[in-house]
Amino acid sequence: MTITSIPERDFTRAQIIDRLNATLAAQRPIVSVAAGVGIIAKCAEVAGADLIFVHANSRSRNLGVPTSIYIGNPIDMTLSMYPEIDNVVDRTPIIAGIDATDGQRRRLFRVIDDYVARGINGITNFPTALAYTGNWGRARNDVGMGSDRELELLAEARRREIFTVGQAYDAGFAADLAAAGADLIIARCGLTQGGAVGPSPDAESSLSPEAAADHVQAVIESARAANPDVFVIAHGGPFARPADTEHLYANTDVQGIHAESAIERIPVEEYVAAEIASFKSPVLRA
C-alpha cells in the first residue's frame, strides 16, 4: 500500500538483473556508484547510475582522508549512512555491504533480515577479509570467522532471491563467489589512484593499467568458469577517471565500472576547488 506520494523502492533480484542486461543491450557500461552521503546518491540516480552502493569505506572519503574501512564497525557505519541514501533514492537499487566476518554478529541470517527490512535491495560482502595482504582472511577460517563466511553470506542471500554482489581481490575467490551464487562480481584493482589522498600511479602498491586489465580478465575468466552468466565490473586502481576505462573496455570482457573514489572523492575535490578558485577570480572595483 502506498500511503504517500513517495513510493517504496522495490526491486526483485530478477528486476535488477534485467536492468543490468538492458544497460548492456543499449551498448552502455554498467556504472555503479558508492555513496556515503545523500547528495552523491541523489545525483548518481539523476545521472542514471545502474546501482548505488552503501558500504563502510564511503565514510572516510567524505571525511577527506585516505580511503579507510575500520574507523568504526563496518556494519554500524553502513547502517548509519544508509537512511540518508534511502531517503533520496527512488528509482535505483541500493546494494549495502555486510562484513560477514564481524564476530559480534554470528547469526548472518539476522543481519540479512535486518537489511531487507530496511528496504535494502541487494547485499555484498563488503568489507571482505581478503582486502588485506597476507593470509589474514583465510587464516581466520580456522576460527570460523574468515572468508568462508562471505561465501555463506552470499549463498544465504541467493537462497532468498536477494541480489548479491561479490567483492573479489583475486581470481580464485571470484570463482568461489560466483559458485556461491553471486550475481555480479566486482574485480578489485586496489586503491583508486590519484586525487588529493589517493596513491600515485608509481606508488609501490599501484597496478599499471595493463597489469590491472590482466587482473580483471583473470577474475572474469575464473568467475565465468563457475557461472557463465555472472556479471563482472571493475573497481579502482588505475581506473580512476572515465577516460581510463577506454583501455579497460578494449582489453577485457568487463561489463562496467564500480566507482567509489572515482565519483564521490576525486570529482568532488576537483569541482569544489575549481568553483572556489573561480570565486576568487573577479576583481574588486578600485
Partner 1 sequence: MARFTRTQILERLRSQLEQRRPIVGAGSSSGLIARSAAAGGADLIIVYNTGRTRLMGLATNHLLNHANPTTLGMYREIANTVRDTPIIGGAEAQDPTYWNDIDRLIDDYQAAGYDGLINFPTSFAQPDRNDVGLGLQLDFEMVKRARERDFFTICYGYTAEQTQGLAAAGADVVVPHAGWTTGGLAGAGKSAMNLEESCRHVQHLIELARKENPDIICLAHGGPLSSPEDLQYLYDTTDAQGFLGASSAERIPVERAVLETVAAFQSYTPRVALQAK
Residues that bind partner 1 (CB under 8 A): 23-29, 31, 33, 37-44, 46-49, 61-65, 84, 87-88, 196, 241-243, 245-246, 249-250, 252-257, 259, 262-265, 267-286
Tell me whether strands 231-235 and 163-168 are parallel, antiparallel or unpaired.
unpaired
Integer Cα distance of 254 and 80 in angstroms = 32
Return the number of the residue (6 or 26) whose C-beta is nearest partner 1: 26
Closest approach, Cβ 104 to partner 1, in A, equals: 26
Integer Cα distance of 183 and 42 in angstroms = 25
Asked if residue 112 lies in contact with residue 157, where contact means CB atoms within 8 angstroms, the answer is: yes
Return the number of the residue (149 or 258) whose C-beta is nearest partner 1: 258
Return the number of the residue (49 or 96) whose C-beta is nearest partner 1: 49
Closest approach, Cβ 92 to partner 1, in A, equals: 11
Contacts of 284 by beta carbon, 8 Å cutoff, 6+ apart = none
Return the number of the residue (87 or 135) whose C-beta is nearest partner 1: 87
Return the number of the residue (90 or 113) whose C-beta is nearest partner 1: 90
Contacts of 236 by beta carbon, 8 Å cutoff, 6+ apart = 188, 189, 190, 191, 192, 258, 260, 261, 262
Closest approach, Cβ 176 to partner 1, in A, equals: 23
CB-neighbour burial class of residue 189 (10 A; exposed 0-12, middle 13-18, buried 19+): buried
Closest approach, Cβ 136 to partner 1, in A, equals: 28
Return the number of the residue (57 or 128) whose C-beta is nearest partner 1: 57
Return the number of the residue (7 or 242) whose C-beta is nearest partner 1: 242
DSSP code, position 229:
T
Amino acid present at 210 = E
SS3 140: helix
Closest approach, Cβ 257 to partner 1, in A, equals: 6
Closest approach, Cβ 158 to partner 1, in A, equals: 23
Nearest CA-CA partner of 237 in 203, 271, 265: 203
Integer Cα distance of 103 and 113 in angstroms = 17
Phi, psi of 165 (to 5 degrees): -120, 130
Query: How close are the terminal C-alpha atoms of the chain, in Å?
Result: 64
Closest approach, Cβ 229 to partner 1, in A, equals: 13
